[in-house]
Structure 1
Amino acid sequence: MAIPFLRRLTAVSRSPQANRQLAYFLTFTAGAVNAGGFLAVQQYTSHMSGIVSMMADHMALGGVVVVLQGLAALLSFLAGAASSAFLINFGRRSRLASEYALPLLYEAVLLLGFGLLGANLETLRWFYVPGTVMLLCYIMGLQNAMITKVSRSEIRTTHITGMVTDIGIELGKLFYWNLARADAQAPSPVRADRGKLTVLSLLVALFFAGGVTGAYSFFHFGFGSTLPLALMLMLLAAVPVVDDIRGFLRRIWRAALARRTTMPHTRARESRKRDESAAAAGPERTGRGADS
């Protein structure tokens, strides 16, 4: 039961239900990484609005170093999004079942790298803190681009500003008072999308829950708290990746069997050709001997 569920979460053929379920996991992860990362480097890394605003403030105040640090974080987020698109398009053109699982697996490896990198924060803080910020921004860009392509730009997981805005829109529809009109040409009544409202509210709640979990875990367990998140992402990506590996090994096995089957026939044809060549060369040599 678990394997079909995991396969469906990151399958190439998408459904609204699979998109929502995958978004639940990724939103929780983003909240945890964002909050835990803040405790590590005193900077949120899952959304770029604050970073760009910080760059603008320090540009006006002459803080060139902070502007360059913000630019590095912004470019890292951009590079993460580009990497996600590259991996997905590579999987698509290669016809892999892990088309959408590859960025998740990559993100899991990077989270493990974050845990290892964090162990050195106190030794060379001037070097490792900017590197950690760039790594976290890269991870968030990678994840956000992945869910964006999966859901066709309907869902974001690393920031909730758009979700809260959409919740407000649906609440405005929900509490709108549709007055009865006798006019036949009256506009259709306003109706809220209750299903969408529920999903958005759950995503915001999961981002908050992930933040609480990430902050608590980092405070008590340090950088090792990233290990469960990395393992969860690996689990989400595991089934399609294993399917691709099995398919690759199956193709190699079939090719080996095909070569083994055709090899005796090939050798027999080559032997017949040698015999025919020898038979044709025999009379020719005999004739030359008689002429001499």
Structure 2
Amino acid sequence: MWRRLRTVAGATRTPRRNRHLANLLAFIAGALNSVGFVAVSVYTSHMTGLTASVADHIVLRSWGLVRIGLIAITAFVVGAMTCAVLFNWGRRRHHEARYATVLVLEALLILAFGALADQLTWRHRDLVFVAVLCFTMGLQNAIITKISAAQIRTTHVTGMVTDIGIELGKLAYRSRLAGQPPVTADLPKLGMLAGLVALFFVGGIAGAAGYLAMGFPVLVAPALVLLVVAAPPLVADARSASARREARDAAS
């Protein structure tokens, strides 16, 4: 069991491991997105909508909403930047946890947010909520992008639905020209994308229902799951570092 968990967020990647991690992150993204909307009326994964919203509200001179949108977009970008910094730092040092460190950061943010957000009474706390949730979305969308070589994104449902439509179009196409190669749908890709969209949707239901039932503490459970998934590569790196120190001590 421990070995299997280690592979989900470990440095050695396979398409199957990528799908397993993507499924988990799509569910969590759906939950975070719904919690953000129910709590502060902002879809924190929807950068297209937020960018359009900023443009609209500039024209309407709704400067408070412009500020929220700009904070959300900036936080998402900074989250993706942070992922790139952590990943490249770990890769240069050949860490097993080069991906897991990003998941740990995401998990700790979600855990702290879930445990403490209801206690905040600051006047502008909604801005903090938006910034934290969008930063987390940027982190996790960037890490699955890095892992899958930009083949999978867990928060970009527009892109996934577009790709589903393309594959369904290939599946429905019937060539009437003799001698031409057939148009073939990528059924594994179609199944993966449909599964990711479904998990995002189910995560959204779980997040919204959980928030209405218990508030922000609903986020504690997914944060703990992320920590469990990220722990094995971190333990492996700690053991490797300890072994290297012991070898150096023995040599000296």
Tell me which moved more, 12-21 or 240-249: 12-21
1:170, distance to aligned residue in structure 2 (A) = 0.8
Q: Larger Rg: 1 or 2? A: 1
Q: Give, as a single letter, the amino acid of the residue that structure 2 aligns with 1:104.
A: L
Q: Is the 8 A contact 1:107 1:139 kept in 2?
A: yes
Separation (CA, whole Å) in 1 of partners of 2:177 and 2:135: 53
Separation (CA, whole Å) in 2 of partners of 1:235 and 1:46: 24
Whether 1:222 and 2:218 are equivalent positions in the alignment is no
Tell me which stretches of 4 or more aligned residues in structure 1 moved more than 4 Å.
Answer: none
1:245, distance to aligned residue in structure 2 (A) = 0.9
Q: 1:110 maps to what in 2?
A: 109
Q: Give, as a single letter, the amino acid of the residue that structure 2 aligns with 1:169.
A: I
Q: 1:199 maps to what in 2?
A: 192
1:251, distance to aligned residue in structure 2 (A) = 1.8
Q: Is the 8 A contact 1:120 1:128 kept in 2?
A: no
1:104, distance to aligned residue in structure 2 (A) = 0.2
Q: 1:140 maps to what in 2?
A: 137
What is the CA deviation profile of residues 201-245 of structure 1, one whole-angstrom value per residue up to 9, with x for unaligned ones?
A: 111111111111111111112111111110111011010000011
TM-score for the superposition, normalised by structure 1: 0.83
Whether 1:60 and 2:53 are equivalent positions in the alignment is no
Question: What is the Cα-based RMSD across aligned positions, in Å?
Answer: 1.3
Q: 1:258 maps to what in 2?
A: 251
Q: 2:84 maps to what in 1?
A: 85
TM-score for the superposition, normalised by structure 2: 0.96
Q: 1:128 maps to what in 2?
A: 125
1:155 to 152, 155, 175: 152
Whether 1:237 and 2:230 are equivalent positions in the alignment is yes
What is the CA deviation profile of residues 45-75 of structure 1, one whole-angstrom value per residue up to 9, with x for unaligned ones?
A: 0121111111011100112222122111111
Separation (CA, whole Å) in 2 of partners of 1:139 and 1:118: 15
Q: Is the 8 A contact 2:42 2:130 kept in 1?
A: yes
Q: Is the 8 A contact 1:117 1:132 kept in 2?
A: no
Q: 1:211 maps to what in 2?
A: 204
Whether 1:179 and 2:176 are equivalent positions in the alignment is yes
1:180, distance to aligned residue in structure 2 (A) = 6.1
Q: Percent same amino acid at aligned positions? A: 46
Unaligned 5+ runs, structure 1: 260-292
Separation (CA, whole Å) in 1 of partners of 2:80 and 2:177: 49
Q: Is the 8 A contact 2:68 2:130 kept in 1?
A: no
Separation (CA, whole Å) in 2 of partners of 1:154 and 1:17: 13
Secondary structure of 1:14's counterpart equals: coil
Separation (CA, whole Å) in 1 of partners of 2:27 and 2:144: 13
